Structure 1
Amino acid sequence: MRSILFAGLSGLAVLVAMDADARAGEVAPPQQLPLPAPIPSARDVRMPGTIALKVDGTDLARHIYTVHETLPVAPELSAHGGDFIVRYPMWVPGDHAPTGSITQFGGLSVHAGAQAVTWVRDTVDISAFHIPLPAGATSVTLDFQILTPVSPDVGRVVMTPDMLNVQWNAVALYPAGYFTRGITVSPTLVLPHGWQYGTALRPRAGTAPGDSVTFQDTSFDRLVDSPVFAGRYFRRFDLTPPHGAPVSLDVVADRPEELAATDAQVQAHRNLVVQANAVFGSHHYEHYDFLLALTEELGRIGLEHHQSSENSGPRGYFTKWDKTFPFRDLLPHEFTHSWNGKFRRPEDLWAADFNTPHRGSLLWIYEGQTQYWGYVLAARSGLMTPPQVLDAIAMVAATYDGRAGRLWRPLVDTTNDPVIARRTPLSWRSWQRSEDYYSEGQLLWLEVDTLLRDLSHGQHSLDEVAKRFFGVDDGSVVTHTYRREDMIAALNAVQPYDWAKFLHDRVDVVTRHAPLEGLARGGYRLTFATEPTPYLSAREALLKMHDYSFSLGFVLNQKGRLVNVEWNSPAWQAGLTMDEEIVAVNDYAFDADTLSDAITAASANGAAPIRLLVRAGDRYKTVSIPYHGGLRYPRLERIANTPDMLADILKPREVTP
C-alpha cells in the first residue's frame, strides 16, 4: 500500500512541476539594468575661478577636521543649471592604490548661494556626489567633516594632542571634468594656538602671523602633493647646500626634548642633500621640506612628494642616535622620489585626476631603484655607517632569497599588490609575496650597479645612469613620464649590454633565488651566524619583536605572539600560524632568552626536538619542532682576494663647492 501511494504522489509531483515550468516559460528572465552614465572624464582645460578651501584642525579632542569649501561654477552650467559633480580623491600618488579615506567623510551639506541643495551620491562611483544646481548659481558651498581615526584600531592616527598631519586629499572635494593641474585652489589652515608647521606650500604674501594661515594659490594636484605637519613642539633646520635651492628639515615631536639635534646629526642631513644632488646632477624642486614626526602617537608614514616628504621616526631619533639607525634610510628613500617617481614617473602611474586608476607595472624601478638609492645615500651622507648598511643588505638578501612565493609568482606581479592587498595583514606573507618590488628591486639594482662597473672595468656605474635618466631639465618641476624601454636605453647609453633580457629574466620570470649576483660581484657572500648583527639587534628593539625567521621560521612580539610564520619553515611544518601565542618553551614560561637557549641546545648531537606550548584563541596545544640547526642570523662576509666594490658604492662622492 505504501509503495502504490508513493508512486501516485510522485506522479502528481511531476505533473505539477511540468505545469510550473510551462507557466515560468511565459515570464521573461531578469535582465541587468544598464549602469548609470559614467562620471565625465577629465579634460585638459582650466577650471574657471578659484576654489576657496578652509580646513580647521583645532578639534584635537575629537580628532575632527572641519571643512568649508566654496567652488566656482562654470558659466555654461550656471546659465541653465544642471548636474554639478564633485569627487573625493581616492587614488593618491605614492600609495599606488585607491586608499582615499572616504570612510572618514561625514556631515556634507551643500548650498548654492543661500539656497540649500540636496546632493545625491553616485550609485556606482561612491566617491562622486551629484549636486543639482538651479540656474543662475555661480558658486557652490560645501561644509563637511573628516572624522579621522581616534585610535590605531580605527586607522592611521593623524591628530594627537601635540601634532597633526594634514593631507589635503583627505580634506577636499574637487569638481569632475578637469585635469587637477587645471584647478586653482586658495587653501587656508586653522591650527591650535601657538602651533608651528612645515609644508612645501608657502603663505600668501602679507599674511599676518597667527593661528590661521592662508597659503599662496596653487593647483589642486600640487596642493595634494603638499601635506602639512604641525605641532606644539616644532623645530626647523636649514639644510640648503651652497648655491642650491632651499631645503629644510621640519621636525615635530611628542616631547620638546626630542628636538635636541646635535650639529653633527644636522650635518648628516645636509650631506644627504649634497650627495643626492651629486648622484642626480640636478634638482627638481623650487624648495624642499623634509617633514619628520618623532612620535609614538601619530600614525607611521613614509610618503613621497615632489617638493616635500612625510616621514615618521621613533622617539630618540636624535637623542638615541646610536640605536635608531635602522630607520635612517627613510629620508634618503623619500628624497630620491623627488627625482624617481615625482619628476620622472612611469607612464602608467601618471593620471589626470585623483580618481583614475593607477597601473604599477614599473614599480620595481619607481620603488626598487629608490630603495637602492635610499641605502646608498644613507651611507654616503653619514646617516648610517657602511657596516650598518651592509648588515641591512644582508637581512634583505636572506629574506628575499628564502621567500617561498618566488616559486609561483614573478617579481613583476607583486606590483599589483598595492591594489590587491592594500597593505593589510597577510596570513602567509612569504607565500603571497606582498610588495616585493621594493627590496628585491633593491637587490636587482645592486646587481645592475656592480655589473655596470664590472663590464666597464670600473669606468661606469649606476650613478651615471641616474644622472642621465633623472637629471634632465635641471630645475624643472614638470613631470616627465617613462617606459621600461627608456630605462633600458639609458643603461645601454652608459654601457652596452643586453639589458632587456637581463631585466626580463629577473622581473618577468619565476626564479628560485633572489638576484644575489650583485653581492658576489661586489666582493661579498651571504652567510649566517649564531649572533645577530648590530643592525638586527637595533631593529628588533625598535620594532619590539624577536626575529627567528632564519631558524624556526617565525617572528614574534615581546609577549610571544606570532606576527609572521615563514611558509614551509620548521614552524610551518609543525602547524604554527600567525596570531598564535607561545606560552612555554620546553616546559618553562616563554621569554625570548629561554627560546633562544632552547634553539641553541637543540643543535647539539642527539638533542630532543623543541617543545612549545601554544595558545590559539581559547585552545592550547603542544607542538614539537624537530629543528637542530641552531640560531641563524644573516650577515655579509668578504670574499678573499676580490675587489671591495660595495665599499666604493657606499663611499661619499667628492663634491666641488
Structure 2
Amino acid sequence: MMRLRLLVALTAFSGLVSPALAQPQPTPLPLPPAVPDPQDKPFPGTLSVSVDATDTAHHIMSIHETVPVPKEAVQKGEMILLYPMWIPGDHSPTGVIEQLGSLKVQSGGKTISWKRDNVNVAAFHIPVSATTPTLDLHFQLLSPVTPDQGRVVMTPSIVNVQWDQVSLYPAGYFTRDITVKPSVLVPHGWQIGSALRAPTYGDETHFNATTYNTLVDSPIYAGRYFRKIDLTGPDHVPVALNVVADDPDSLNATPSQIEAHKNLVRQATTLFGSHHYDHYDFLLALTEELGMIGLEHHQSSENAAAPGYFTEWDKTFPERDLLAHEYTHSWNGKYRRPADMWAPNFNVPQRGSLLWVYEGQTQYWGNVLAARSGLVTKDQGFEALAYMAATYDNQSGRLWRPLEDTTNDPVIAQRAPLSWRDWQRSEDYYVEGQLVWLDADTLIRKLSNGQKSLDDFAKAFFGTNNGSFIVSPYQFDEVAATLNSIQPYDWAKFLHDRLDTIQPHAPLDGLKNGGYKLVYTDKPTSFVKASEGMRHGLDLTFSLGMSVTKSGKTARVHWMSPAFKAGLTSGETILAVNDMDYTSERLRHAITDAQKDPKQTIRLVVKSGEHINTVSIPYHEGLRYPHLERVDGTTDYLSAIYTPR
C-alpha cells in the first residue's frame, strides 16, 4: 500500500497524473518602448511657459505652455513631453506629478488627445503631424491647500513658483539644450525675487529667454510684503537678499543684521576665492503659512524661516546657518557636483554616493560661515556643534548601518516620517558628514602645525574656473587627491574608515584635535533653550531619551532610551506626571527629584489612541545637556576655525 501511494505521488509530481499541471504557465507582457534617452543636441525652437499665480484663494496656478514640434517628431508621428521628477537638491524623484491637473493639448485651435505612458507615468505621448507645428498646453498646478497634502506654496501673502512644477519639456534632449521664454502673473502690486532677469517687472513679468536647466534652477518668491536688500561684496558681483513675509513688521531688519548677511557674502567669497554666478539672489520667506524649505540653486536659494527671524534675533539663531548652508551650495553641489549626481535631464535618476561631500561639507561650512560672518556668535556655533556631536554619538542606528549607506536614504525614505529615526538612521550624511569634515580640518591643522586647513582644500577644490557656470563633476579619488595635495596623509583610508565601516561612536576626533571635549551638564545651553522655544516643546534627548511638545505629546522617542524601555513611543500624550497634570516644568522636576532619591521613579499617565496606561521610568541620572569643554594644554584650533577671515 505504501509503495502504491509513493508511485501515485511521484507520477503526480512529474505531471503525468494531473493535466492541470501541464497547462502553460503565464509569462509577462513585454514593456512598452522606453522613452527616448536624452541626446546632447539643440532643441529646434523655443518653448514658452506662462504661469498665472493669482488664485491664492484656491492655491491653484494656471499654466499655458507652447512647444514647437520638431521635424523628427513629425516623422515619428508622436511627441513625448516629460514632467520633471528628479529635482536637483532633493536627491530623489520628488516631482509633484500628482498635483498636475486639467491637461489639455491643442494645435491650431483643435484639441489633440494625449496618452500617459503606463510605465513612465511622467511621460505624455502626443500624436503630431505636419499640420501640428506647435502644441498649446493648458494645465493647472493644484498645489496643497493644507500642510498634510504637501508643501504649501501659495498663501494670501506669498507665492513660491518652482518651474519644475509648472512646465513639461520634450523628451530626447539634454535640458541644457532647450530654450524657454518664461513669464508669470502675480497678484496686483506684489513684488518678485528671483535669479531670473526681465527688462521690466510688474504684475505680469516676461523674463529673458533662458535654458530649461536654468529655468528649473531659478524659482520665484513673490509677495505682498517684500523687501530687497543689497549684499554685494568686494568683488562687485551683485548679491541681493529678497525677503517676503506674512506681515510687514517681519521685514524690519536692523543695520547690524544686514551687515551680518553682507559679511556672509564676504566670508564665502574669501573662503572659496571665486564665484560661479554673475548675480546671486537669496530668497527668504519669513512665514508660518508657506511651507518650510531650504533648497539650493546655482544663482539663488529658496529659504524659509520664522517670522521673528529679524525681530526676535536673540531667539532665532538656531536656524541662522540656513542661508550660509544654501549659499555654500553654489560652489559645492551646483558648480562642483558628484559625477553620479549630474544628469542630462530631470527624469534620469541620480545617485548619491558622494552626498557626504555635497551635503556634509556644505553643512560644515554653513555652521562655520554663519559664525565667521556674525549671523551667530562663536559660542552659539559651538553650542550647535556640541548638540550635533552628542546627537550623532548617541545615534543607535550606527551599530548596524554605516554612514555611506545613508546616502541612499532620500530614495529609500523619501523624507517621510520614520517610526524610530535614530535606529533606522536617515540622511545622516548631513551632520555626521559635518563631523567628518571637522575631523579632517583639525587633523590638517595639527599635522601642518597650523599652516594649512580645510580652507585651503575649499579654495583648491571649489575655487577653480572662477566665473564659470559650467558644472565641474568629481569622483572620490579627486577628493582624496586634493586633500593629499594640501596635507600628505592617507586620506582615502581616513574617509573609508568613517564612511564604510560600522563605528559605535560618532567621529569626534575633530573636537579632540580642535582642543575640546564633549561633556554633559544639567544646564541647557542657549541653543537648546532657543530650539525648545522655536519648537514649543521640551528636549529630553540626553536624559529620558525623548522630546515632548507643549501639549505633552511625545514627538520623538529614542531607541533603547529610558523612555523606550518603559514602553513609550512617539505620538502618545502624557496626561500626568507623578499624579499631577502634565506640564513641562513638572516633568523636569520629576527628573531632578528622581536623581536625588534613587528609590523614586518617574511616573507618567500616557494616552495612546483610546488606551490609557501608567508607566514608570527608573531613571536617576538627572537632566543632561551637551557642551564643549576646553582641554587645557592643547591648541585651540576650533576657535581658529570659527574666526572671521
TMscore range, shorter length: over 0.9
State the partner residue of 1:415.
407
Q: Indicate which of 192, 195, 198 corresponds to 2:190.
A: 195
Q: Indicate which of 43, 50, 55 corresponds to 2:46.
A: 50
Aligned partner of 2:595: which letter? Answer: S
- What is the rounded CA distance, in whole Å, between the counterparts of 1:19 and 1:270 in structure 2? 81
Residue deviations 1:356-381 (CA, integer Å, cap 9, x gap): 11100000010000000001000000
On the 8 A contact 2:105/2:112 being kept in 1, the answer is yes
Structure 1 residue 274 displacement after superposition: 0.3
- What is the rounded CA distance, in whole Å, between the counterparts of 1:160 and 1:486 in structure 2? 45
State the partner residue of 1:602.
594
Give the 3 Å change call, closer, same or farther, for CA 354–625 of structure 1 in structure 2: same
Aligned partner of 1:189: which letter? Answer: V
Residue deviations 1:109-145 (CA, integer Å, cap 9, x gap): 1112222111111010111111111333211111100
State the partner residue of 1:222.
214
Unaligned runs of at least 5 residues, structure 1: 1-11
State the partner residue of 2:96.
101
Q: Indicate which of 564, 568, 575 corresponds to 2:560.
A: 568
On the 8 A contact 1:187/1:215 being kept in 2, the answer is yes
Give the 3 Å change call, closer, same or farther, for CA 22–239 of structure 1 in structure 2: same
Residue deviations 1:525-558 (CA, integer Å, cap 9, x gap): 1011111100110011112221101000001111
State the partner residue of 2:148.
153
Q: Indicate which of 576, 591, 605 corresponds to 2:583.
A: 591
Residue deviations 1:182-214 (CA, integer Å, cap 9, x gap): 0000001000000001000001x3x4x431001
Aligned partner of 1:59: which letter? Answer: D
Which moved further from structure 2: 229-238 or 20-29? 20-29
On the 8 A contact 1:547/1:555 being kept in 2, the answer is yes
State the partner residue of 1:40.
36
Q: Indicate which of 603, 607, 632 corresponds to 1:611.
A: 603
Aligned partner of 1:138: which letter? Answer: P
Structure 1 residue 566 displacement after superposition: 0.6
- What is the rounded CA distance, in whole Å, between the counterparts of 1:25 and 1:112 in structure 2? 55
- What is the rounded CA distance, in whole Å, between the counterparts of 1:432 and 1:40 in structure 2? 37
- What is the rounded CA distance, in whole Å, between the counterparts of 2:509 and 2:101 in structure 1? 53
- What is the rounded CA distance, in whole Å, between the counterparts of 1:424 and 1:481 in structure 2? 29
State the partner residue of 2:4.
none
Match runs of 1:68-467 below 5 Å: 68-78=64-74, 80=75, 82-203=77-198, 205=199, 207=200, 209-467=201-459
- What is the rounded CA distance, in whole Å, between the counterparts of 1:28 and 1:240 in structure 2? 73
Aligned partner of 1:69: which letter? Answer: E
Residue deviations 1:455-511 (CA, integer Å, cap 9, x gap): 000100000000000000001111000001111111011100000100000011110
Structure 1 residue 19 displacement after superposition: 11
On the 8 A contact 1:81/1:132 being kept in 2, the answer is no
Structure 1 residue 580 displacement after superposition: 0.9
Q: Quick one: percent identity of the two aligned structures?
A: 57
- What is the rounded CA distance, in whole Å, between the counterparts of 2:253 and 2:634 in structure 1? 40
Aligned partner of 2:84: which letter? Answer: P
Aligned partner of 1:92: which letter? Answer: I
Q: Indicate which of 474, 478, 482 corresponds to 1:486.
A: 478
Structure 1 residue 215 displacement after superposition: 0.4
Structure 1 residue 606 displacement after superposition: 3.0
Structure 1 residue 563 displacement after superposition: 1.2
Residue deviations 1:308-365 (CA, integer Å, cap 9, x gap): 0000111111111111111100000000000000000000000000011110000001
Aligned partner of 2:189: which letter? Answer: G
Aligned partner of 1:288: which letter? Answer: Y
On the 8 A contact 2:598/2:620 being kept in 1, the answer is no
On the 8 A contact 1:362/1:484 being kept in 2, the answer is yes
On the 8 A contact 1:110/1:119 being kept in 2, the answer is yes
- What is the rounded CA distance, in whole Å, between the counterparts of 1:21 and 1:579 in structure 2? 58
Q: Secondary structure at the match of 2:51?
A: strand
Q: What is the root-mean-square deviation in Å for CA atoms of aligned residues?
A: 1.7
- What is the rounded CA distance, in whole Å, between the counterparts of 1:117 and 1:421 in structure 2? 38
Residue deviations 1:634-653 (CA, integer Å, cap 9, x gap): 11111112221111100000
Aligned partner of 1:111: which letter? Answer: Q
On the 8 A contact 1:81/1:136 being kept in 2, the answer is no
Residue deviations 1:209-236 (CA, integer Å, cap 9, x gap): 4310010000001100000001000000
Aligned partner of 1:574: which letter? Answer: A
- What is the rounded CA distance, in whole Å, between the counterparts of 1:391 and 1:242 in structure 2? 31
State the partner residue of 1:7.
none
State the partner residue of 1:635.
627
State the partner residue of 2:5.
none
- What is the rounded CA distance, in whole Å, between the counterparts of 1:319 and 1:456 in structure 2? 43
Structure 1 residue 83 displacement after superposition: 1.5
Aligned partner of 1:456: which letter? Answer: S
Structure 1 residue 30 displacement after superposition: 0.7
Aligned partner of 1:426: which letter? Answer: L
Aligned partner of 1:56: which letter? Answer: D
- What is the rounded CA distance, in whole Å, between the counterparts of 2:146 and 2:25 in structure 1? 49
- What is the rounded CA distance, in whole Å, between the counterparts of 1:108 and 1:139 in structure 2? 16
Structure 1 residue 16 displacement after superposition: 12
Report the count of equivalent residues.
Answer: 638
Aligned partner of 2:23: which letter? Answer: V
Q: Secondary structure at the match of 1:374?
A: helix
- What is the rounded CA distance, in whole Å, between the counterparts of 2:642 and 2:542 in structure 1? 27
State the partner residue of 2:488.
496
Aligned partner of 1:268: which letter? Answer: A
State the partner residue of 2:511.
519
Q: Indicate which of 20, 24, 44 corresponds to 1:24.
A: 20
Q: Indicate which of 56, 65, 73 corresponds to 1:60.
A: 56
Aligned partner of 2:36: which letter? Answer: P
Aligned partner of 2:590: which letter? Answer: A
- What is the rounded CA distance, in whole Å, between the counterparts of 2:644 and 2:438 in structure 1? 17
Give the 3 Å change call, closer, same or farther, for CA 602–212 of structure 1 in structure 2: same
- What is the rounded CA distance, in whole Å, between the counterparts of 1:18 and 1:250 in structure 2? 76
On the 8 A contact 1:112/1:133 being kept in 2, the answer is no
Q: Secondary structure at the match of 2:148?
A: coil
On the 8 A contact 1:601/1:607 being kept in 2, the answer is no
TM-score by length of 2: 0.97
Residue deviations 1:380-400 (CA, integer Å, cap 9, x gap): 000000000000000000000
- What is the rounded CA distance, in whole Å, between the counterparts of 2:482 and 2:244 in structure 1? 40
Runs of 4+ in 1 over 6 A off after TM superposition: 14-21
- What is the rounded CA distance, in whole Å, between the counterparts of 1:606 and 1:362 in structure 2? 48
Structure 1 residue 81 displacement after superposition: 5.7
- What is the rounded CA distance, in whole Å, between the counterparts of 1:323 and 1:580 in structure 2? 28
Q: Secondary structure at the match of 2:130?
A: coil
Aligned partner of 1:179: which letter? Answer: F
Aligned partner of 1:164: which letter? Answer: V
TM-score by length of 1: 0.95
